[in-house]
Structure 1
Amino acid sequence: MAETTRLLLSVPPAHARRAVAATLSEQGFVVRDDGGVLEVSRPSEQAASSTTAAPACFRVRFAAAASGAVADFEREESASSVNAVFTAATRVARMRLAERGLIHESEHTSSGEDEPRERDAVAADPPVPTAEGDAPADPASHRAVEVAPASTKRPIGAIAVVALILGFAAPLGGIVVGAMALVLLRRTREGGRGLAIAGIVVGAVMTVLVGAVVAVGLGLALRASPPPAAPNPSASSPVDGIAPSPSATEPTFVLQIGQCFSKRGRGEIGDANLVDCADAHSYEIYAQFPLEDASSSSPAPSHGYPGDEAVAREADAGCVEAFAPFVGRGYEHSAFDYVYVSPTQKSWARGDRLVTCLVTDPAATTVGSLRDAGR
């Protein structure tokens, strides 16, 4: 009979699988991806056989959910040492994923009793046991995790209060300091996240209001000035209210490295939401690379479309590889995330092979480039 512990994550299954694999690897486990299922074993078992893969201590299966993804930690009933490994691994994985804001703590369920919500003020990751009687893995490979008791009221960080004040006094300062406060409060575990978000919102609203007042003032000034001379008609100008044919003048928007975009709708990007990187934005293009064209010698390129899964796999690999050189820190250890734009079957038939990678901060909008941010 199998024992199952379920975690609900706020990211798609592919991202959830990478995050869980990284968390288990940090604990000293050997993690193997077997068709989307993580086979997790202990290093001592891996060394015991050099010709075959080590038997799994437990497995982690992933499925899509309305909130993002479901991760099921499964183990078969076995020795008590394996039970201790499974319990410690799932507990540490839950804490670390929660620290990164990737888990819905209020929704997770398990086959056993719920974990107590009140813990000691400071708890260290438990060492990973090997075989029964063996010494535990090197504790230096684990990081101490500070967990505040649920019943303790956390103090409000001063930077969050400053962000709210600047939102009224200096709107752009409120946006910048509010974004910084969200990052610092997550590290220091102080309260005030709501104040920081309020500072960003107030700063954005005040910026819009100031911009509207300036625009109205300029409009009134232009109305008061004499009208400019009428321009000479040109061949490209509409004549008698009839615009040129859309098929003849349809613009082509080209994505380029260094462009920044504000968030619109479900996250579409285009010339309509292209902004200066010095302004608040949600996405920044940091890398581009072409996919391999398996049908370059074929008279019908659309027959060579490798499929959605193959395109997603190659796009993920390329964007992760280019992440660290741009941000200055590996994707698994970064506070940032990435998205990408890749060819579809229809665009592939038109010769589209380009993958475009965009970095984003899940916690807040960004002001300025994230190049060499180092976090």
Structure 2
Amino acid sequence: MSGLTPPGGRSGADPEPTRPPDRVYAPLPSTSYRRLSDPRLPPDATDVTLSGVALGLSLALPVPLAPVVGTCLAMVALVRRRFRSTGMISTALVLGLLVSAIQVVALVSVIGEMVNESKPPGGREGTLDVHDLAVGDCFDSATVRGHATGGPTDTREVEARPCEQEHDLEVFELIELTGEDLPDREEIEGLAERCLTAFAEFVGRPYDDSSFEVYYLYPTETSWRLRGDRDLTCVAGHPRRQVTGSLRGRNR
């Protein structure tokens, strides 16, 4: 039999043309590979300025609240997440927190001193400069009482105590020194005799008959010249133990 047609097609028909592909895929050579985008945005001028300002403010210890503002700016910059390196802004944040803490401590200390100095003599408490002592102040000082050394010695600060608490000494008289120059030691000792007269009036019994001891504080050449210290301070206390309450009128 001739002229048979193969299954699926006609005898002698042209083959159907192949459809070209819609898209051609070709891998890039490994040497040509590059990242087309970086998810981290580069810092702009605002961020760089922000970090610099934050760091500067964080270091401004003498300026009130400046470190607090610097810390806030550093936190804002970190939240923006626009830095390739957060070293500067992290440093600003840490320094801002540290300096802010120092300022808070200093502020609390200053306020405490102001409150203490505003109290009347006899009620003050805490470290007190010897130049700020006033009649009626009670305080502790082993140095002044001669426990540390056997003779005169320099002292700059004492620990003030309310007179109703146990304390070493009480200020009962201030003698003003006059003249252009600091009196010499012999002159000061002569002026200190006036402490004994004031003591008798204060305690109610002459010094020679009393169980209390008298000491005095006087200016040094430095405090006389630089601080205008002009007071000889008369203080009294028991030579062997602390006392409670004022010595005024004790009569012993």
Give the alignment's TM-score, normalised by structure 1.
Answer: 0.31
* Bigger fraction of residues in strand: 1
- Structure with bigger gyration radius: 2
Give the alignment's TM-score, normalised by structure 2.
Answer: 0.44
Where relative contact order (Cα < 8 A, 6+ residues apart) is larger, the structure is 2
